[in-house]
Amino acid sequence: MKNFNKYIAEKATDAGYPVDGSDFSNDLAKPETISRINAFLGSMGRMEYLVPEHALNKMQEKLGRLGISFEMPSLSEDGGEMSVPLTQFGGIYGEDDAGEMVNGDGISHRVEGGLSLKIMHEKTAAGTHFLVAKIV
């Protein structure tokens, strides 16, 4: 019979999907982190949506688990491409060690110029929508 610790070690999953190990962090300054997040966003882009805002809500919720947020853009009926700036951990505000006021997105001080979410929206002939997003 298995003991509890052995069972947990073998079943390190979240709803049937493998959980990232301790090697994953939400440090957006690491290119491998951006690559992993983009792979996840790419998998969401393969799904069709009747209401495109639902796809954005889903992306917002999933990225929020990593402390990444963005303002909800307004989508055109015909589709198109847009970019929205990203914020991590709600941004930063206050004084730094030198007494200077700091007000930022929580990313720009680690990644030059900050990061944004590029969203490609396509409406199909059947009236469904595809949304493909990528952090750039």
pLDDT at 85: 95
Answer for the pair 87, 135: CB distance below 8 angstroms, yes or no. Answer: no
pLDDT at 117: 95
Q: Which residue has the tokens 């052995």?
A: 6
pLDDT mean over 44-48? 88
The shares of helix, strand and coil residues in the chain, as percent rounded to the nearest 5, are: 25, 30, 45
pLDDT mean over 28-46? 89
Q: Which of 117, 100, 118 is nearest to 109 (CA)?
A: 100
Spatial distance between the Cα atoms of 48 and 42, rounded to a whole number of angstroms: 13
Read off the pLDDT of residues 72-110 as tens digits, 9 standing for 90 and up.
Answer: 998 888 888 999 999 999 888 888 888 888 888 989 888
Measured in degrees and rounded to the nearest 5, phi and psi for residue 103 equal: -145, 105
The three-point CA angle 29-32-36 to 5° equals 115
Q: 5 falls in which pLDDT band (50, 70, 90)?
A: confident
3-state secondary structure of 41: helix
- pTM comes to 0.74
3-state secondary structure of 121: strand
The three-point CA angle 14-20-26 to 5° equals 115
Read off the pLDDT of residues 51-73 as tens digits, 9 standing for 90 and up.
Answer: 999 999 999 999 998 899 999 99
Q: Which residue has the tokens 């049937």?
A: 16
